[in-house]
Structure 1
Amino acid sequence: MTFCCPLCHAPLAHTDKSYACPQGHRYDMAKEGYVNLLPVQHKRSRDPGDSAEMMQARRAFLDAGHYQPLRDAVASKLAEILPDGTSSILDIGCGEGYYTAAFARTAEEKGAITFGLDVSKSAIRAAARRYSQVTFCVASSHRLPFEQSSMDAVIRIYAPCKGEELARVVKEGGWVITVTPGPRHLMELKGLIYSEVLLHAPHSEQLPGFVLQQEQSLAYEMSLTGKEAVALLQMTPFAWRAKPEVWETLAEQETFSCQTDFSIHCWQRID
């Protein structure tokens, strides 16, 4: 299995240093080993996705192990649902590859290769440097550069993606695993930013062409240093609403307790 061209959708042939389609569209591989499949006309900004600073903050937070229970839970689900002889899996919105590397270990045991996709070049560059066992690409999650019915499983942790694209690339009988915030996710952090803290809305997503086969809630409390709490805030959409005094308050904390609440759903592709 290989990539398809994001411009004409023809299969891309791989040489030592590039990918090319029969129409002559060519995509060179970066020295780190990833390929950029995000044409200029598909970008919404000059440098889309997380910045290098945001990526580094997230990597430090994740490397500290605060979200390891989530990573382990999703990897366990993947091991449970993937049959032996699986060929390919994809992590959408993979960031710097913290989750993707764990999924790749599971996929390898099933005989599959693992792809990681993100719109952020900074994140993919860092991921490719660290996790050579994964094939990484810069690409849009709304225009997946993969052939029809090419994936045995797709993992989507918070990342947006059109349902039609998921239905296109996942094989019949294949899977999509999604992770979304549970009702009480990061309530303490939200309490520093909003005058009224609302629960996250209950899960209501529908994926046409898929049947929801399993769902699981995962919740636990984290104890963070002030630096880790700042990194966590920087990872979230709340960062745009946080006033300077919020950042200062978090940075000064010796310990900051914050609860997690994740919803994990396993969807199976039907004909």
Structure 2
Amino acid sequence: MPSVAFNHLQCPIEGEALYPSEHGLSWSCSNGHSFDVAKQGYLNLLPVQQKRSKDPGDSKAMVSARREFLNSGFYQPLAKSIAEEVLRYAEQQNTSAKNPLRVLDAGCGEGYYLRELVESARTDYLSVAGFDISKWAVLSAAKQGVDAENTVRWFVASNAQIPVQDASVDVVLCVFGFPVYPEFLRVLKPGGLLIMVDPGQKHLRELREVIYPDIKPEKPEKPHPEFFHVQPPLSVNYALTLESAAEIKNLLAMTPHLFRAPADGKQRANALNELTVTVDVNIQPLRKMIAKGIQTTFE
């Protein structure tokens, strides 16, 4: 992938642009706030005052389980579909070294989907960054790396206050995440693409039938956010067979069901040595509206 460094960060304290030091060991703003690059290559841009707990986000154990599960290729068809959607948009934008497609993964976890995107991009110029509120997830992403030049930017941050400059991003990914649409709108360029990836009604139903005494009715779909133009949705559906207790345990550990399920339900899941589950995922692309005068149009 012809890669270009993502340098459109802003100070999480006062919103001023951040600039790297001469040797790239720290980033600072004009107001004197400075943030060191960790030895693993990531930035922590989540100030204490923006944390709701001492160690927010996924735990080290959850991140480890997700890394093992995803690196086994179980969600590779989903990752491929997400990458194809981004690269279709890249083709429309005529990317180049001077005009790379800037992609931001909001809630990147341990970086699996960004890695798949980078590996899928043969000729398109990309400028890629990923962040997560979990320092353990970002640490894992940075350690695994993405490209030989190490130009992918990893940082710890929250969707509630994204430390990225206004209108500087072409594509925002939100994969099984917690969207904050006003922030997504702010960082996206006019006409930019937001890709929402959410579980469908049948997603992991077989696992849910094991761990819960009954399956609750599906909640009605939420209306699409304002100021976005809805694009044709995509759906990824296939059966997935887990052939060991460790694989089933990893799947459970990387989902919210780890905390929601009753103890006896988790015990039933942990006693299984094989389980076939349905992967049912909705991919909804949304284009940011372009305001022209008083009227709102679309690109």
TM-score normalised by L of structure 2: 0.86
Please identify, of 188-197 and 159-168, the stretch whose mean Cα deviation from structure 2 is larger.
188-197
What residue number does 1:122 align with?
Answer: 136
Q: Within 5 A, what are the aligned runs for 1:40-119?
A: 40-82=48-90, 83-85=93-95, 86-106=100-120, 109-119=123-133
Could you say which residue in structure 1 is the equivalent of 2:297?
Answer: none
Indicate the SS of the match to 2:253: helix
Q: 1:135 aligns with which of 153, 162, 179?
A: 153
How far the C-alpha of 1:112 sits from its partner, in A, is 2.0
> 1:158 Cα shift?
1.4
8 Å Cα contact 2:80/2:117 also seen in 1: no
Counterpart of 1:253?
272
* Offset, 1:72: 0.5
Q: 2:236 aligns with which of 200, 212, 218?
A: 218
CA distance in 2, matches of 1:108, 1:119: 30
Q: How many residues were matched structurally?
A: 271
1:184, distance to aligned residue in structure 2 (A)? 0.9
Measure the CA separation in 2 of the matches of 1:210 and 1:167: 9
Distance in 2 (alpha carbons) for counterparts of 1:196 and 1:240: 16
TM-score, length-scaled by structure 1:
0.95
Say if 2:202 and 2:278, in contact at 8 Å, map to a contact too. yes
Q: Deviations over 1:175-204 (max 9, x none)?
A: 000101101111111112222213533532
213, 223, 233: which one aligns with 2:252:
233
Q: Structure 2 CA distance, aligned partners of 1:123 and 1:108?
A: 27
Q: Which residue of 2 aligns with 1:156?
A: 174
AA aligned to 2:241 is S
Q: What percent identity do the matched residue pairs reach?
A: 35
Shift of 1:103: 2.0
Which ranges of structure 1 fall in alignment gaps of 5 or more residues? none
Q: Larger deviation: 128-137 or 90-99?
A: 128-137
Worse-matched range after superposition: 233-242 or 141-150: 233-242
| Two-structure CA RMSD over aligned residues (Å) | 1.6
In structure 2, the residue matched to 1:147 is 165
Query: Who is 1:191 aligned against?
Result: 209
Distance in 2 (CA, whole Å) between partners of 1:174 and 1:205 is 20
| Partner amino acid, structure 1, of 2:213 | S
* Structure 2 partner of 1:200: 218
Q: Name 2:293's counterpart in structure 1.
A: none
Question: What SS does the aligned partner of 1:145 have?
Answer: coil
